[in-house]
């Protein structure tokens, strides 16, 4: 195992590895970790008692976090005609069609964080599946990123909409903000995600649903969170 950095070791010394923390306690400790030169992401991992190989146990969706994710989200929109102008007016960073698809395919251009498409542009977007798919950028109607209402979709992405999806191990990994956000804002973002995942519990799941919750930073150690602890209510 690679040797951990001194900063990681100092952060780990603050943690009781046998304790189940409340979200408030866990985020409070993360805020007290030694600073880095980067504004790290705070990530939540939720281990679910599901088998995603079965369609009726897949847990997937998207939510707008009450306090955003603490960074500017660059949004690309595939649209034409009136929809193109609607996307620009809503704050989209890049709007176009074949020109943008060509730039992605031929130049490897990926200077964006989210992709939205109007339904009539999916013929163009479909050609980008091998590039966008593995990076989690492919527009999907179930997640609201293929929609005739491109303006609303752009606004939601800019406001901090995040996607969550259980992986093949039954774990959801999702960023809930930057470490520079106020502690309470991160707590409320985490609470919103946990409650959303709770409501998405598949009917086929029996017994304990949330087996384990862990919160961590990009370069820091993880803290175990008590899944049964009360959650914060956002005032946003």
> Which structural domains are found in the chain, ordered by start?
16-69+161-225 (3.30.190.20), 75-159 (3.40.50.790)
In contact, 65 and 92? CB cutoff 8 Å = no
Asked if pLDDT for residue 1 goes beyond 50, the answer is no
Give the separation between CA 17 and CA 5, rounded to whole angstroms. Answer: 18
Integer angstrom CA distances of residue 216 from 31, 90, 102, 148: 11, 33, 38, 37
Of the pLDDT bands very low, low, confident and very high (cuts 50, 70, 90), residue 72 is confident
Mention every residue, 6+ apart, whose C-beta is less than 8 A from residue 20: 224, 225, 226, 229
pLDDT band for 232, please (50, 70, 90 cuts).
low
The two beta strands, 171-178 and 41-48, are antiparallel
Distance CA 194, CA 134 (A): 25
Q: Which of 187, 226, 180, 222 is nearest to 11 (CA)?
A: 222
> Could you tell me if residue 28 is left (phi over 0), alpha (psi between -120 and 50 degrees) or otherwise beta?
alpha
Per residue in 157-195, pLDDT tens? 998 888 899 999 999 999 999 999 999 999 999 999 999
Q: What confidence score (pLDDT) does residue 142 get?
A: 86
Mean pLDDT to the nearest integer, 2-21: 86
Average pLDDT, the chain: 91
At 193 the pLDDT is 95
User: What is the maximum span of the chain, computed from C-alpha positions, in angstroms?
Assistant: 58
> Stretch 51-73: mean pLDDT, rounded?
90
- Looking at residue 233, what is its pLDDT? 61
Share of the chain above pLDDT 90, in %: 75
Residues 6 or more apart whose CB falls under 8 angstroms from that of 111 comprise 74
Predicted TM-score (pTM) of this structure: 0.79
Name the one residue in this structure whose structure tokens are 């973002």: 189
Q: What is the model's pLDDT at position 177? A: 93
Is the pLDDT assigned to residue 231 strictly greater than 80?
no
Q: Are 204 and 78 in contact (CB under 8 A)?
A: no
């Amino acid at each position: 195992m690679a040797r951990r950095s001194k900063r990681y070791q100092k952060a780990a010394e603050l943690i009781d590895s046998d304790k189940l923390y409340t979200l408030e306690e866990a985020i409070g400790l993360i805020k007290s970790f030694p600073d880095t030169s980067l504004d790290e992401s705070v990530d939540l991992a939720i281990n679910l008692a599901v088998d995603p190989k079965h369609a009726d146990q897949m847990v997937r969706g998207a939510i707008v976090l009450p306090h955003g994710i603490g960074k500017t989200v660059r949004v690309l929109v595939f649209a034409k005609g009136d929809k193109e102008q609607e996307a620009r007016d809503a704050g989209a960073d890049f709007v176009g069609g074949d020109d943008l698809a060509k730039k992605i395919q031929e130049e490897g251009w990926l200077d964006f964080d989210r992709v939205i498409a109007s339904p009539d542009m999916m013929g163009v977007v479909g050609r980008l599946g091998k590039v966008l798919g593995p990076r989690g950028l492919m527009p999907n109607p179930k997640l609201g990123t293929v929609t005739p209402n491109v303006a609303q979709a752009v606004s939601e992405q800019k406001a901090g909409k995040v996607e969550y999806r259980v992986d093949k191990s039954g774990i959801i990994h999702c960023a809930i903000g930057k470490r520079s956000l106020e502690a309470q804002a991160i707590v409320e973002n985490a609470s919103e995600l946990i409650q959303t995942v709770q409501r998405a519990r598949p009917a086929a799941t029996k017994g304990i649903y949330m087996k384990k919750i862990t919160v961590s930073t990009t370069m820091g150690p993880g803290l175990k969170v008590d899944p049964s602890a009360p959650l914060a209510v956002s005032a946003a």
